[in-house]
Amino acid sequence: MKYLSTRGGVGAARFDDVLLTGLAGDGGLFMPEAWPQVSPGEIAKFRGKSYADIAASIMARFTGDAFSHDRLLEITCKVYGAFDHTDVAPLTQIGDEDWILELFHGPTLAFKDFAMQVLGAMFDDLLERRGERLTIICATSGDTGAAAIEALKSCRRVDVVVLHPEGRVSDVQRRMMTCVANENVCNIAIDGSFDDCQSIVKALFADEAFVAKTKLGGVNSINWARLAAQIVYYFTASAAISDGEPVSFVVPTGNFGDVFAGYAAKQMGLPIAKLAVATNVNDILHRAIQQGDYSPASVSATSSPSMDIQVASNFERLLYEVLGRASDALRMRMAEFQKTGAIALSDDEMCAIRDDFVSHAASETDTVAEIKRHYREHHALIDPHTAVARVAAQRLRDVKELSGKVVTLSTAHPAKFPDVVERAAGAHPALPSRYSDLFDRPEHMATSPATAAAVKALMLDRLRDRAQP
């Protein structure tokens, strides 16, 4: 398996290089040279297999000779065996043809654990074999940072730097990052939005000398290995409820990574009817799908902060597919976006996107009302991101854009957002016992203005200190 940059400025890469670098050297995103296929017969057999078995089978199609199937199975058995539910990604039926896919049973109570825990094990394995060290940087709107730190804090050959928008994540989300005292972990609170954090990361990756000096790599969903791991739960969910008929998925998303993993699963042969993009009022993806208008607006702070994003990095991957994988055309469109701050999709491009995707944007009022309604009708608490997706699922059914079997992805535990959930439902979502002392732990973080230069200086100071005997 080889990987190509969406912008076509670098040669074909191997999986191990894609894993360690994250972003292509020309600023593009890596994509598999061709979509590996999973036959209907193989999909049917997934129903009787464990999550770890299916994960190893799917991921082996992307890793080439970097990891053998047996080594992948060792990793997935260890990683997913530590999740707190035997099914790893259990399904809860909430209607005749509606299910919720629970993706919050990992160590940091969010869907990011599914990929990040695997990446941590892969980093350890690969860097040990190579005798190398790596600095991982990631921008987070809430959950990615905690998942990255949890996965990488014990890695002997990795330093991890996490940027989060100061005051724009929940207290639980922040403390899951900042209450980790390991020496290889550096948290930086940025005076700005998630989009500012993401722009800083991209600017640092564009600094070739800095990348070389720090051995910089990434674990945001720009890293293809993240998406490869997230593809798995689309297959497990479909196998559990379908005998081969198409299933639709509703995905709360801001950076377009999780839902693009669903698109990848469909390209691999999984029968998916529609992928529904559920956004909050930060609705750039909804506007792109419905109106062809991919133009960022100001970021509004909401009760679903992991989706408070107005530049969705992974949308570039979809645009690359829609343009027939023509990297020259894609590069022109991204240059247009850099210059004007907008991309206008043509009618043909919108039609191609709508073959696979539908969308809905939920208001704050709708989100809070859905948390309350879900608790009243199903006696279960859901977090605000899941509520956004459930609003979308119901509205899209009402207008006949979704039909048949529908799975809504529940991407975070409600206890990560206790204030809004309790206000809406009148019931307090308790953290698991392992986090009972979270608010008693000391925090460790630096602060920085929203500039690449300031973050670069902080990182160099930190890494210089780490290098001292």
For residue 317, give the DSSP letter: H
What amino acid occupies position 20?
A: L
**Tokens matching residue 64:** 């080439």
What amino acid occupies position 90?
A: P
The H-assigned helical ranges of 341-408 are 347-354, 364-378, 384-398
R_g of the chain, CA atoms, integer Å: 21
The answer to whether residue 400 is catalytic is: no
CA-based nearest residue to 362, from 322, 393, 402: 393
**Tokens matching residue 320:** 């690359």
Helices 144-152 and 112-130, interaxial angle, to 10°? Answer: 40
Nearest-angstrom CA–CA distance, 184 and 288: 39
Strand partners of residue 100: 92, 408
Tokens 């850099």 -> residue: 338
Q: Determine whether 339 is exposed, middle or buried from the number of CB atoms within 10 Å of its CB (0-12, 13-18, 19+).
A: exposed
Indicate which residue of 112, 215, 266, 405 is catalytic: 112
φ and ψ of 328, to 5 deg: -60, -45
Residues 201, 205, 211, 216, CA torsion sign: positive
b/e for 172-211, b at 16 or more Cβ within 10 A?
A: bbbbbbbbbeeebbbbbbbebbbbbbbbbbbebbeeeebb
Q: Which helix (H) or strand (E) holds 182?
A: none
Nearest-angstrom CA–CA distance, 152 and 72: 18
CA dist 222 → 33, 208, 258, 449 (Å): 16, 18, 11, 23
**Tokens matching residue 102:** 């629970």
CA dist 308 → 147, 195, 389 (Å): 18, 9, 14
Nearest-angstrom CA–CA distance, 267 and 265: 5
Tokens 């009402």 -> residue: 398
Write the CB contacts of 72 (distance below 8 Å, at least 6 apart in sequence).
55, 56, 59, 60, 63
Between CA 148 and CA 158, with CA 153 as vertex, the angle to 5 degrees is: 90
In contact, 411 and 141? CB cutoff 8 Å: no
CA-based nearest residue to 11, from 20, 322, 28, 19: 28
Kindly list the catalytic residues. 112
